[in-house]
Amino acid sequence: MREMSQPTPFDRALLARRRRRALGKRVEGADFLLASVCDDLGERLSTVKREFETAVDLGGHAGLVTAMLQASPNVGTVIRADLFCPDPALSPPDVVMDDAFPPFANQSIDLIVSALSLQWVNDLPGTLIQIRRALRPDGLFLACLPGGDTLFELRDSLLQAEAEVTGGASPRVIPFAGTRDLGALLQRAGFALPVADQDTLTVRYDTMFGLVRDLRDMGATNVLSERSLRPASRELFYRAAEIYARDHADDDGRIRATFQFVSLSGWAPHESQQKPLKPGSAKMRLADALGTQEMNPHANR
């Protein structure tokens, strides 16, 4: 029987090259989205009233997640795991790894945190399973990924422009998973008490080219395996910028760029955690609890 190969929507080698280039260039302020997400993850962690002996910053670069974890009074040892290559602006990381294949032993970590990285993993369900296995029982996974509405203005403008200029269209903005889908993946991976919620940040620019420059400085440009290998023309980008300004600008002429963030949390199963009651195990009827009389809907038929 012929084996089915694993789909590879993202060119991970290209992602690694662009990540290295962005780190080498090191544009000040290019990590503003990561900083916002890190603040949110820190607030979420602060509400958890338990100790985490060992924590992992799964992504490492910029050191923002590591600094947040080190500042938490509930976190002990922090392992900074840089993605693909060390961040040259920081002290050497504890480990350099590919976050698609976390190199941690089963049940060896108490807390794993990932910020704006896992959206480029080709087998996200498989990676989530590996993360859950690396957690000790009652260990916590916190993550933030871009959600489905992220950069919809840029996607729309490029598609329209390419259809006009070339008569066809090539994917130029990666697809992002929705909140419900990501929550379902947590459950599928075996996490207990999975939670997924979303928030939206709107960033404004003078033109589309400012947005594209920021994405390049973040190392977050198109890494789709099915992308067109033909260099895009200036005509295409100028037309896309015109469409963007026409369809997605405020009254003052500045354009909007939407970033939707999906925050995830899930626990490695443990016997101490709350569990849903089994069907039929309730000790009180709903009618008694509400103080009403139970009616038989078939009585008068």
The candidate with the shortest Cα–Cα distance to 180, out of 192, 193, 198, is 198
Share of the chain above pLDDT 70, in %: 89
- pLDDT of 296 reads 55
187: Cβ contacts below 8 Å, ≥ 6 apart? 194
* Pair 72, 94: CB distance under 8 Å: no
* Pair 93, 60: CB distance under 8 Å: yes
- pLDDT of 301 reads 46
- pLDDT of 60 reads 86
10 dihedral zone (left: phi>0; alpha: psi -120 to 50; beta): beta
The candidate with the shortest Cα–Cα distance to 179, out of 193, 194, 201, 192, is 194
Q: Is the pLDDT of residue 159 over 50?
A: yes
The residue ranking higher by pLDDT, 194 or 295, is: 194
What mean pLDDT value characterizes the chain? 89
* Residue 280 pLDDT level (bands cut at 50, 70, 90): low
* Residue 290 pLDDT level (bands cut at 50, 70, 90): low
* Residue 227 pLDDT level (bands cut at 50, 70, 90): confident
Q: Is the pLDDT of residue 287 over 60?
A: no
Domains of the chain with bracketed CATH: 12-270 (3.40.50.150)
Which string of DSSP letters, residue by residue, matches 161-221? Answer: HHHHHHSS----S-----HHHHHHHHHHTT-EEEEEEEEEEEEEESSHHHHHHHHHHHT-S
39-71 pLDDT tens trace = 999 999 999 999 999 999 999 888 999 999 999
* Residue 276 pLDDT level (bands cut at 50, 70, 90): low
67-115 pLDDT tens trace = 999 999 999 999 999 999 999 999 999 999 999 999 999 999 999 999 9
The candidate with the shortest Cα–Cα distance to 142, out of 114, 106, 121, is 114
The one-letter amino acid code at 240 reads: A
